[in-house]
Amino acid sequence: MDLLSACESLASNVLEYSATDTFDLQIPESDVEHWQLLFQMTRAEAIDEIRDWRLDFSRESLSRSAWDAIKESDFAIGFTKESYEYSLARGWKLKRHHVTSTDNTGKYLLRIEETLPSIATIQDLLDTKKLDFVSGLDDDGNSVQFCYMSAQMRSLLLCRLVSSDSVQFRPNFIRVSIAAKDLSADSRHPTLGIDSTLPQYRLQSNAESLRPAQNEYPVPYFFYGTLAEQAILARVLGISNHNDIKYQPATVAGAALTTWAGKYRGLVDGGYGDEVDGMPNMRL
């Protein structure tokens, strides 16, 4: 684009909506609803995106003749000239709010705020009082609260927000990246230092039992490194008094400590005679 064309495009973008800041910009309700349905946005998201788009005077626009030539094509059906320009510039992929088979087991956290989203708001949108909430401390030591929800609940919440005329906020979900636990009552797998699938390490009969069992509570957690310090573990677990955490020194045989990505320490299989010292703690 040459300098003259760029100046003409800039002037056209400025004059199109006759607004130079947020206070001057008037967004018709029909445009908000159109963006909500087309891009599966919440009302708040649609208003934010339209405002930012219209106040971006450097945005690239289609000429009227170019739009007339493509507006009847399959890939432009349902778009207006503006929303089509937005989808091209942002590389926007239309969101489909259904849960795929690969996401059926996904878990998410949604931070609860004093205003929006509040506990009452989430309960009303999901039409249930049976929600799980977890508490903790942020990096500044302030108390925070999250709603713990499944992928299906997350999808339902997004759909309800899209159709809601009264509730407007942009949810920020945090995916819980915790591997599912495959517990077993008749195997010691996984065990550091030995291949527990080999015959010599298997249980010899159904009458034998391993203690503590994998599904037995309380669970003995083996902490090492910085988490073996009461104050640090208390902050991670959201416990106000670190003296409530009781440690007992212990050693894990057949294990070794390794470093991943230059900063994370983890337990891995070790050789014969390898040991790692740590501080077990019983957790429910």
C-alpha distance from residue 46 to each of 34, 51, 85, 97, 205 (Å)? 9, 8, 15, 16, 63
Q: Tell me, what's the pLDDT at 89?
A: 80
- For residues 229 and 32, give the distance between their C-alpha atoms in angstroms, rounded to a whole number: 52
What is the rounded average pLDDT for all residues in the chain? 80
Q: Is residue 183 part of a domain?
A: no
Residues whose CB falls within 8 Å of the CB of residue 66, separated by 6 or more in sequence, listed in order: none
Q: Tell me, what's the pLDDT at 97?
A: 42
Q: Is residue 196 part of a domain?
A: no
225 and 253 in a single domain? The answer is: yes
Cα angle 178, 179, 180 (rounded to 5 degrees) comes to: 115
pLDDT at 251 over 60: yes
pLDDT at 110 over 90: yes
124 and 70 in a single domain? The answer is: no
CATH number of the domain within which 125 lies: 3.30.70
Q: What is the mean pLDDT of residues 183-192?
A: 74
11 and 82 in a single domain? The answer is: yes
Q: Is residue 232 part of a domain?
A: yes
DSSP state for residue 180 in the 8-state scheme: P
Show contacts of 253-256: CB within 8 Å, 24+ apart: 253/192, 253/193, 254/191, 254/192, 254/193, 254/194, 255/192, 255/193
Last residue of a domain, one of 175, 207, 226: 175
69 and 39 in a single domain? The answer is: yes
Task: Tell me the three state secondary structure of residue 179.
Answer: coil
Q: Is residue 95 part of a domain?
A: no
Q: Given pLDDT bands bounded at 50, 70 and 90, which one contains residue 18?
A: low
Q: Is residue 180 part of a domain?
A: no
Yes or no: say if 29 and 36 are a contact pair by the CB < 8 Å rule: no
Q: Given pLDDT bands bounded at 50, 70 and 90, which one contains residue 23?
A: low
77 and 118 in a single domain? The answer is: no
Last residue of a domain, one of 62, 90, 118: 90
Q: Say which residue the tokens 């929600």 belong to.
A: 131
Yes or no: say if 22 and 51 are a contact pair by the CB < 8 Å rule: yes
Q: Is residue 190 part of a domain?
A: no
Q: Say which residue the tokens 């088979």 belong to.
A: 101
Q: In 79-139, which ranges are E strands?
A: 107-112, 132-137
71 and 121 in a single domain? The answer is: no
65 and 142 in a single domain? The answer is: no
Domain hosting residue 117, numbered range: 104-175
Q: Tell me, what's the pLDDT at 8?
A: 60
pLDDT at 169 over 60: yes
Q: What is the mean pLDDT of residues 185-194?
A: 77
Last residue of a domain, one of 145, 175, 205: 175
Residues whose CB falls within 8 Å of the CB of residue 225, separated by 6 or more in sequence, listed in order: 257, 265
8 and 77 in a single domain? The answer is: yes
User: When comparing pLDDT for 246 and 16, which is higher?
Assistant: 246
pLDDT at 163 over 80: no
- For residues 27 and 245, give the distance between their C-alpha atoms in angstroms, rounded to a whole number: 55
Reading the block at residue 224, the tokens are 């090492």
Q: Tell me, what's the pLDDT at 146?
A: 93
Q: Given pLDDT bands bounded at 50, 70 and 90, which one contains residue 101?
A: very low
Query: What is the number of structural domains in the chain?
Result: 3
32-90 pLDDT, tens per residue? 988 888 887 888 888 889 988 888 877 878 888 888 888 888 778 888 988 888 888 87
Task: Tell me the three state secondary structure of residue 149.
Answer: strand
Q: Tell me, what's the pLDDT at 100?
A: 47
48 and 73 in a single domain? The answer is: yes
Q: Is residue 10 part of a domain?
A: yes
Q: Tell me, what's the pLDDT at 96?
A: 42
Q: Is residue 195 part of a domain?
A: no
Q: Tell me, what's the pLDDT at 282?
A: 77
8 and 62 in a single domain? The answer is: yes
pLDDT at 99 over 70: no
80 and 115 in a single domain? The answer is: no
79 and 14 in a single domain? The answer is: yes
Q: What is the mean pLDDT of residues 222-246?
A: 88
Q: Is the backbone peptide bond immediately before 190 cis, with ω within 30 degrees of 0?
A: yes
